[in-house]
Amino acid sequence: MRTAAPKIFGILGSNISYSLSPQIFRILFDKYDLPHGYFIFDHAEKDLPSFVGSVLTLGISAFNVTVPHKCDIMQYLDNLHRTAKDCRSVNLVVNRSGRLTGYNTDIFGIRKVFADAGVNNFSNLRTLIIGAGGTARTVLRFFQSKRAKDIFVINRGRKRLHDMLSEFALPTHGRRIAAYQKTRSNANLKDLEWDIVFNATPVATSKLLPKTAMQRKPLIFEAAYGNRIATVTNSRDVIGGIDMLLYQALRGFEIMTRCRIDDYKKEKAALKRRLRQSFA
């Protein structure tokens, strides 16, 4: 019998009707016998102050944050959990008695996915991050914490790239961290080689990098889960964003509901099966 009081949860982003988060959380609420609701809150950046006001007025218990608000939301919060401070990016906000705390569970998802792929030691790995948004910040923090041999970052726009690099006060740890502006010809990329490419943009890697930038047959990580099946030439393997999405959701579910997940890998696999069934 259900004893918990119903709560309102959701995901904040802009143009996110494709989001799988409502399905994911409804599966989890059902499995853990919780009477909660999970909704899409689709708002542009200019609406963030009024959205945050509504969270407090309506008593929304927690909300995930996705593209493009992971950095902008931070200014409206009362506290940042250590994970969000470290990554300078928030993907979960919890409302505790009117005080809003930002968390980052994306880094948990990234850590789990690399561990599942058997990549644990980064000290000899040259890494490339494409993007300079909220997710790029999180993966940059992850590669730094893993003391990757090299971390390169490229981005379409100069401003966000420079903002990100100065926020992280790069270079650090004595590792070589260089930023490259993507040019139309990619001329400045062709002599570089990577072991891991983490694409933190909505666009498939095959459309962003020239074949010549894939000499070492890197392991490619596509954060955007729709890009898993995109053709990538010269890659060793492609890790899709779906597992990251499920892991970060499971960690978020624990924080939001205080339920405990005993075995993340098993729970992630079960969630994936249920999701597939719901689309069959």
| Residues at the interface with ligand NAP (CB under 6 A) | 66-68, 70, 106, 109, 131-136, 155-157, 160, 200-203, 223-225, 241, 244-245, 248
C-beta of 61: minimal distance to ligand NAP in Å? Answer: 21
Residue tagged active-site, from 7, 70, 112, 146: 70
Residue whose CB is less far from ligand NAP, 149 or 272: 272
**Cα(228)–Cα(100) distance, rounded to whole angstroms?**
34
Long-range contacts of 176-184 (CB under 8 A, 24+ apart): 176/149, 176/150, 176/151, 177/150, 177/151, 177/152, 177/153, 178/150, 178/152, 178/153, 179/152, 179/153, 179/154, 179/155, 180/152, 180/153, 180/154, 181/154, 181/155, 182/130, 182/154, 182/155, 182/156, 182/208
Residue whose CB is less far from ligand NAP, 37 or 202: 202
Q: Between vectors from CA 103 to CA 98 and to CA 104, what angle results, nearest 5°?
A: 160
Question: Which residue's Cβ lies closest to ligand NAP?
Answer: 133
Residue whose CB is less far from ligand NAP, 94 or 200: 200
* Cβ pair 38, 6 in contact under 8 A: no
C-beta of 134: minimal distance to ligand NAP in Å? Answer: 4
C-beta of 109: minimal distance to ligand NAP in Å? Answer: 5
Active site (annotated) includes residue 85: no
C-beta of 223: minimal distance to ligand NAP in Å? Answer: 4
Residue whose CB is less far from ligand NAP, 83 or 248: 248
Catalytic residue numbers read: 70
